Amino acid sequence: MNRLYMRNFVCMCALITLLLPVIAFSQIATRKYKIGERYKYKLTTETWRNDKYTGKTVSTAEHQVVNINGILSEEIKWISKITYNGSASASLDSIAQKVAPYRISLLPNGKVLLPALTVSEMVGEVTDLNTFFVAVAPASNAGKVSAKDTVYINKEPRQGNFADSVFILYGTDCIEMSQHFITSDKLSTTIRTDFLPPASFCLTPKLDTVATQLYDQPNNFQMIQKGAGDKVNFFWGVETFTITSRIDNKTGAIIEAGMENTLNLQMRYNASKDLQSYAIQLPVKIKRHLKLELVKE
């Protein structure tokens, strides 16, 4: 009897030992930085407009861990950008390098703030990389989901401003963020972050028509782009995006992540500055698929 008990006890201990890594990493790890550490992230973006493929960009940012006022942060420098359109490609490295270095931190006392958007050709890359980091930041409650508690919905909608005052003269959106546990193993944990329109309209509309629902969800996006001469192009409608992130269990770093981004919009083409007169109003659908990959040196 005692031998049988001991054998079962040993088997149970072995089983628990095997399960410990999974249990221990059932939620994403807190980010761990080492001063001076360098690595890169490659960001690949593919875009479709009204269901027509419009091309791909591949950009690279170099990250270095620095100590700023006692807080370890990632200093980001954009070093390259290549655009692909059919068989043609163009290097925009010199433009990417015009972005001034900026810092973010995934530590509990750190911040992931959008830097000043001063290089219009890089607004997409800078805002997209920032969004990938926002998705897993402590302030976004990414650490509150686990194998036990698989969903966490942030209560307050979040307002965003993505204008660069050069090409994007005005740009705001409003989203509700939720976190979803997907899976975990010994090496990594995967979560999904949904950015969706809140149940009720939450923008300060540039026009009354922006508050009128166009699609299945309330409008949560509006943007004014520079047009020809003194004209502008005005967009409004629904934006959704979902990010799936795989996080290193030891360091808390993003190993890789993917984003699916869809915009169902209306556009007033060649509008006056007051947006009241325009050449034509058209529906516009934009779909983007993005992939972020960690590249260690």
pLDDT tens digits, one per residue of 239-256: 999 999 999 999 999 999
Q: Tell which wins on pLDDT, 45 or 86.
A: 45
Does 68 score more than 60 pLDDT?
A: yes
Q: What pLDDT was estimated at residue 10? A: 41
Q: Tell me if 232 sits within 8 A of 253, measured CB to CB.
A: no
HSE, side-chain direction, 13 A CA sphere, residue 95:
16
The predicted model gives 153-160 an average pLDDT of 90
- Average pLDDT, integer, range 172-196: 96
pLDDT of 11: 42
pLDDT on residue 27: 81
pLDDT mean over 182-205? 96
Quick one: average pLDDT of 139-146? 94
Share of the chain above pLDDT 90, in %: 83
β-bridge mates for residue 65, sequence order: 74
- Is the pLDDT assigned to residue 1 strictly greater than 80? no
- pLDDT of 8 > 70? The answer is no
When pLDDT is averaged across residues 154-163 and rounded to a whole number, the result is: 89
Q: Is 19 exposed, middle or buried (0-12, 13-18, 19+ CB in 10 A)?
A: exposed
Q: What is the mean pLDDT of residues 64-75?
A: 95
pLDDT of residue 26: 63
Task: Give 16: exposed, middle or buried? Use CB within 10 Å, 0-12, 13-18, 19+.
Answer: exposed
* CATH value of 2-296 in 2.60.40, 2.30.230, 3.40.50, 2.60.120: 2.30.230
- Mean pLDDT is lowest, of 84-88, 163-167, 235-239, for 163-167
Which residue, chain included where needed, has tokens 């001076």?
36
Can you tell me the mean pLDDT for 256-274? 97
Query: What pLDDT sits at residue 23?
Result: 45
Q: pLDDT per residue over 39-59, tens digit each? A: 999 999 999 999 999 999 999
- The whole-number pLDDT of residue 86 equals 87
Per-residue tokens: 159: 């307002």
What average pLDDT does the segment 199-215 reach? 94
Out of 12-21, 112-121, 151-160, which region has the weakest mean confidence (pLDDT)?
12-21
> Residue 66: in which H helix or E strand, if any?
strand 52-68
Of all helices (H) and strands (E), which one includes residue 47?
A: strand 38-49
Domain boundaries, the chain: 2-296
Q: How confident is the model at residue 5 (pLDDT cuts 50, 70, 90)?
A: very low
Would you call 232 helix, strand, or coil by DSSP?
A: strand
- pLDDT attached to residue 30: 94
Predicted confidence band of residue 22 (pLDDT cuts 50, 70, 90): very low
Confidence of residue 9 (pLDDT cuts 50, 70, 90): very low
